[in-house]
A = this chain, B = another copy of it.
Amino acid sequence: MVTRSSKPAAKSVRPRQTPEKRGGTAAQAPLPQFDLLQDSLGYAIKRAQVRIYDMVFAALGADSISPARVTALSIIATRPGINQSALAESLGINRASVVKVIDTLGAHGFVERRAIPGDRRSYALVVTDAGKSALQDIGERLERSEAAIAAKLTKAERAQLMALLAKVAVS
């Protein structure tokens, strides 16, 4: 049984490159300043996200599938019959990376690759009963977990936060 190891921590993939490109022009100017850590909406969101991520891990339990896999499972549940490439698109990752995701979900017995009569190049991904059951359980755990956060916000505030975040997330 594949399980999540200890600490996951945040991700961040970035191509590295050579240093020095921004030369040392006039060094110290009176900074009109925008304090990254304090004033950036990006950092504010990041902090909230890190906080929630911790809670999600605690809620899922040590032997659960990872949050990323829960997302994949949720998408397949919502779009039964989706193929791996479309799932990759939906997850915003490369289709090659989806292979292991499905292998893992398959090893857990949560998802199946089903043959498609008309096209033998791809599979129709479907969530099994065990997968639906797991998703139900996970949903309940996360819902209870979010209740801890909701306790800090009124219903109206939560709704407004969701609305504002949706505006920000618009691509």
Q: Which A residues contact B (CB, under 8 angstroms)?
A: 1-22, 24-29, 31, 33-37, 40-53, 55-57, 62-63, 66-68, 70-71, 74-75, 78-80, 90-93, 104, 107-109, 129-130, 132-140, 142-143, 146, 149-150, 152-153, 157-158, 160-162, 164-171
Given A41-B161, A45-B48, A152-B168, do A109 and B19 touch, yes or no (CB 8 Å)? Answer: yes
Most B Cβ at <10 Å: residue of A2, A41, A47, A68: A41
Q: How far is the CB of A5 from chain B (nearest CB, A)?
A: 6
Closest 8 CB pairs of A and B: A14-B92, A14-B66, A11-B92, A19-B108, A47-B169, A34-B143, A161-B164, A48-B168
When chains A and B are docked, how far (Å) is the Cα of A71 from the Cα of B169? 22
Residues of chain B within 8 A of A7, CB atoms compared: 15
Copies of this chain? 2
Contact of A51 with B17 at beta-carbon distance under 8 Å, contacts A12-B67, A42-B56, A129-B27 already known:
no
Q: Decide if the interface of chain A is mainly helix, strand, loop or mixed.
A: helix
